[in-house]
Amino acid sequence: MVPSVILAIDSLSRRAEVDTSKIILLDYSFGVPFVPCIVARDHRPAVAAMVFGGGDLYCLIRDNLQRYQDPVTSGFVAFLSALLLMQIEPMLYASLISPMPLVMINGTEDRQIPPRFAGMFLNRARQPEKITWLKARHMNPRNVDLTDAIIDTLNSEFDKMDILSSED
């Protein structure tokens, strides 16, 4: 995934109709770990945006599994998963995003990515960073009101950075 996204940025960067100063790297939920990993290697995007994500994959996976499995099974599967995913562990790259702006949106009632994991990641990230807390559970594309709130928040933040204007 990481090399593919970097190749996509390469392709965008060669296109005359693309304003390369306004490329946004954005992902959400369990796709979020790719954002810090990619921008730690490639600082061409204007902003990194993480929607409903956080750090510490082992604990995130374990906590999610514990809702359905016993603690031993959850811990074992989380350990193996984190081992396989360690190259994209967001906590390893949090401090490497800067000086690129980081925009995060998370839910105060999210059980899949609980607020402590977003806070843990944000505490390791360096400025400029901004988190917006929405009174919401985990994002779901069928939740139109939440999707609209996420889009409005992203538009507002990108507009403040002069990356995306209301005309765009």
Q: What ranges do the domains of the chain cover?
A: 19-160
Average pLDDT across the chain, whole number: 90
- The 10s digit of each residue's pLDDT in 104-132 is 999 999 999 999 999 999 999 988 888 99
Long-range CB pairs of 79-82, under 8 A, 24+ apart, other chains included: 81/57, 82/57, 82/58
Other Cβ atoms closer than 10 A to 16: 4
Specify the pLDDT at position 165. 65
Q: What is the mean pLDDT of residues 63-77?
A: 93
Q: Rounded to the nearest 5°, which phi and psi values hold at 104?
A: -125, 145
pLDDT for 1 equals: 83
Burial class for 110, CB neighbours closer than 10 Å (0-12, 13-18, 19+): buried
pLDDT of residue 129: 85
User: Measured between alpha carbons, how far is 37 from 96 in angstroms, rounded to an integer?
Assistant: 9
The fold adopted by the segment(s) 19-160 is Rossmann fold (3.40.50)
Q: What is the DSSP string of 25-66?
A: EEEEGGGTTHHHHHHHH---SSEEEEES--S-HHHHHHHHHT
Q: In Å, how far are 46, 68, 101 from 153, measured between CA atoms?
A: 17, 33, 15
- Give the number of C-alpha atoms closer than 13 A to the C-alpha of residue 159, restricted to the C-beta side: 10
Rounded CA-CA distance 108/132 in Å is 10
Q: Which residues contact 66 (CB under 8 A, 6 or more apart)?
A: 74
Give the pLDDT band (50/70/90) at residue 20: confident
The 10s digit of each residue's pLDDT in 38-69 is 999 999 999 999 999 999 999 999 999 999 99
- SS3 of residue 112 by DSSP: coil
Mean pLDDT for 71-99 is: 93
Give the residues across from 51 on adjacent strands.
28, 105
pLDDT at 31: 87
